[in-house]
């Protein structure tokens, strides 16, 4: 099994970025990643205003998948996530939905071991590992790793975790995968602006899906397909996600618009992934009882 | 067990509304309700523009709970929801997130029986009954039943279903409960503007909680407390819900602001209930592993 160390990272997903490694479709690889601060915060005296934010959310990669071509779909199956022994939670003025109530920045270093996050005595919770940043090269230009979009990036979607499959549109030959920004735990919304930020090692299997296309990432869980959408506002992201789902249902299930629209309202949940990045991200969950497979035809 | 028929309804939750019935704290009652259209749509030739919308979301009640005083908390436990044999789904120009794509209004009548909603051949789904409108008299004035708020009302929150408890602030003696607007199925967001709208009979037990207060409704599920918040925009509703949760965690768990704020971000999910009513509604889910009981002290 191939191991890719965290010494090779990107700060932007770029259309023309150079791969650091080539793997076969079907390969299983382990990717080591920094926490979102690049390891700059290793004790509680280091505050958010003290660090360099230009390299925030740096991602390990890019990884070129042989045989994966522009216009294909890339499937990434998350096999395992192994977390470092501690995570970081900063607060800082203006950060998150109640950020104006913060007077002074503070940093907490939280031990993470035995499958638990140790917040303080009496406040110990099971880890819920997830990948914050994961994506492919975009169609054009370069997008900072702190930003989510059709290429993936800083999606901060807690369903991107062990046992799940994530499908990406492929904009450049080889896909050019990069990932980072693990969290030991995070709620939907990422309401104070951060999860339990942590480094670690993710094991994933990459596969090529030929002859099908996608507009934006989709996560497959045990019971649903989650169609992701990112935009400046929640309203716009919800609208985008709804359009993608209705269009997909029309095409894959041979439904008329009004039928697909009713089924969206009756059966599909819109959920918030995060509202604290430069673009917000939502996901529209389509249950498998409606859509048994992502591509039906 | 007391039965309250659907012949006595309100179109507004008013501070000064007159109760139609008085019950003891601890009483179990069955309440019959119209669908949100008051039964005006009973075949597919009747379209949304044809009906009277002034009485939309009318609710059966009000019910006075003896001994329940202004400033107390009311607990309503939903014991059962029995649905009528068909539900209604209209679409109409401008309705829901993709409403501008609708050219002509249409009505669908969907059979609901044997625990299933029959959408069309090959598209049959389990019912997921829920209560759209449930609330108490507000602090002052009158609020149309189509509008959600601190008093409850048109919350359209699918967790308000069989087996759940809902806690309400009490603004007037007796609480003055009314409910209606059942759905046979609805996804989070209610994205096309409607669920499967249906009449039925709800059985509930009402209880008084003395010596505690709430700002807005809270739903108790098996694993979480859901703090509801309604506002003009999603951003504002999320902010309100986050403030309520952080304030509640500070008080009940003796935490400082920054601790409660971190735990909110790390463990609590913000979820969308509906985005199609005059005010939108969200809920912030606090897991019981963090808050084992709503009132800890």
A168: buried, middle or exposed (CB in 10 Å: 19+, 13-18, 0-12)?
Answer: buried
CA distance A149 to A144: 10
CA distance B71 to B297: 17
Bond from prior residue into B62 cis (ω within 30 degrees of 0)? yes
Residue A297 confidence (pLDDT) above 90: no
Q: pLDDT tens, A122-180?
A: 999 999 999 999 999 999 999 999 999 999 999 999 999 999 999 999 999 999 999 99
Looking at beta carbons, which residues of chain B come within 8 Å of A236? none
Q: Determine contact, residues B216/B227, Cβ cutoff 8 Å.
A: yes
Chain-centroid distance of CA A4 in Å reads 19
Candidate from A97, A117, A257 with C-beta closest to B242:
A97
Looking at beta carbons, which residues of chain B come within 8 Å of A189? 238, 265, 268-270
Residue A26, H or E segment: none
- Under an 8 A CB cutoff, do B266 and A117 touch? yes
- pLDDT at residue B7, as a whole number: 96
Q: pLDDT tens, A8-46?
A: 999 999 999 999 999 999 999 999 999 999 999 999 999
Strands (E), A38-164: 59-65, 73-83, 86-91, 106-113, 116-120, 123-126, 130-135, 142-144, 148-149, 152-154
Q: Determine contact, residues A171/A15, Cβ cutoff 8 Å.
A: yes
CA distance B141 to B17: 10
- Exposure b/e, B185-210, CB count within 10 A at least 16 = b: bbbbbbbbbbbbbbbbbbbbbbbbbe
Write the DSSP assignment of A80-116 as a string of letters: EEEE-SEEEEEE-TT-STTGGG--S-EEEEEEEETTE
Q: Which of A100, A184, A187 would best serve as a mutation to test chain B binding (most B beta carbons within 10 A)?
A: A187
Residues 6+ apart with CB under 8 A from A231: A237, A239, A240, A279, A280
Residue B1 confidence (pLDDT) above 80: no
- pLDDT at residue B297, as a whole number: 82
ipTM of the complex: 0.97
Residue B116 confidence (pLDDT) above 80: yes
Residues in chain A: 297
Mean pLDDT of A81-85: 98
- Under an 8 A CB cutoff, do A186 and B261 touch? no
Provide the 3-class DSSP secondary structure of residue A7. Answer: coil
- Residue B167's CB: how many other CB atoms inside 10 A? 22
Mean per-residue pLDDT of chain B: 97
- Under an 8 A CB cutoff, do B234 and A239 touch? no
CA distance B162 to B176: 21
Q: Determine contact, residues A172/A61, Cβ cutoff 8 Å.
A: no
Q: Quote the radius of gyration of chain B (alpha carbons, Å).
A: 19
CA distance B17 to A238: 38
Mean pLDDT of B102-121: 97
Nearest residue of chain A to residue B184 (CA atoms): A266
CA distance B34 to B201: 9
CA distances to A158, A178, A194 from B242, rounded to whole Å, are: 19, 33, 15
Residue B22: which of B206, B180, B166 has the closest Cα?
Answer: B206
Mean per-residue pLDDT of chain A: 97
Residues 6+ apart with CB under 8 A from B246: A98, B257, B260, B261, B264
- Residue B47's CB: how many other CB atoms inside 10 A? 15
Report field, pTM of the whole predicted structure over 0.90: yes
Closest-CA distance of chain A to residue B11, Å: 25
CA distance B118 to B126: 9
B45 interface with A at CB cutoff 8 Å: no
Q: pLDDT tens, B41-88?
A: 999 999 999 999 999 999 999 999 999 999 999 999 999 999 999 999
CA distance A268 to A285: 5
Tokens of B11: 């179109």
- pLDDT at residue A1, as a whole number: 77
Q: pLDDT tens, A112-124?
A: 999 999 999 999 9
Region of residue A13 (left: phi > 0; alpha: psi -120 to 50; beta: else): beta
pLDDT tier at B241 (50, 70, 90 boundaries)?
very high
Helix axis angle for B234-253 and A234-253, nearest 10°, is 110
- Under an 8 A CB cutoff, do B98 and A242 touch? yes
- pLDDT at residue A99, as a whole number: 97
A206 interface with B at CB cutoff 8 Å: no
Phi and psi, residue A241, nearest 5°: -65, -40
A4 interface with B at CB cutoff 8 Å: no
Residue B24 confidence (pLDDT) above 80: yes
Nearest residue of chain A to residue B233 (CA atoms): A235
Write the DSSP assignment of B214-247 as a string of letters: -SS-EEE-SSEEEEEEEESSHHHHHHHHHHHHHH
């Amino acid at each position: 099994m191939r191991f890719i160390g965290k010494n090779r990272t990107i700060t932007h997903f770029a259309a023309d970025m150079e791969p650091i490694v080539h793997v076969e479709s079907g390969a299983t690889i382990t990717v080591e990643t920094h926490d979102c601060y690049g390891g700059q915060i290793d004790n509680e005296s280091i505050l958010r205003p003290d660090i360099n934010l230009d390299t925030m959310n740096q991602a390990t990669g890019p990884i070129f998948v042989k045989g994966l071509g522009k216009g294909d779909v890339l499937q990434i199956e998350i096999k395992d996530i192994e977390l470092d022994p501690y995570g970081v939670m900063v607060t800082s003025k203006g950060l998150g939905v109640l950020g104006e109530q913060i007077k002074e920045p503070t940093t907490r270093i939280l031990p993470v071991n035995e499958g638990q996050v140790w917040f303080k005595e009496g406040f110990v919770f099971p880890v819920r590992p997830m990948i914050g940043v994961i994506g492919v090269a975009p169609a054009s230009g370069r997008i900072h790793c702190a930003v989510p979009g059709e290429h993936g990036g800083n999606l901060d979607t807690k369903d991107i975790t062990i046992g799940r499959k994530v499908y990406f549109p492929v904009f450049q030959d080889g896909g050019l995968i990069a990932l980072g920004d693990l969290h030991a735990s995070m709620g939907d919304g990422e309401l104070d602006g951060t999860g339990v930020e942590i480094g670690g090692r993710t094991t994933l299997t990459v596969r090529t899906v030929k002859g099908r296309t996608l507009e934006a990432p989709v996560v497959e869980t045990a019971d649903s397909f989650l169609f992701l959408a990112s935009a400046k506002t929640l309203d716009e992201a919800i609208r985008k996600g709804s359009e993608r789902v209705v269009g997909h249902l029309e095409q894959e299930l041979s439904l008329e618009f009004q039928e697909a629209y009713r089924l969206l309202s009756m059966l599909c949940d819109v959920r918030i992934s995060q509202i604290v990045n430069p673009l917000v991200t939502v996901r529209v969950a389509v249950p498998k009882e409606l859509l048994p497979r992502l591509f039906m035809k």
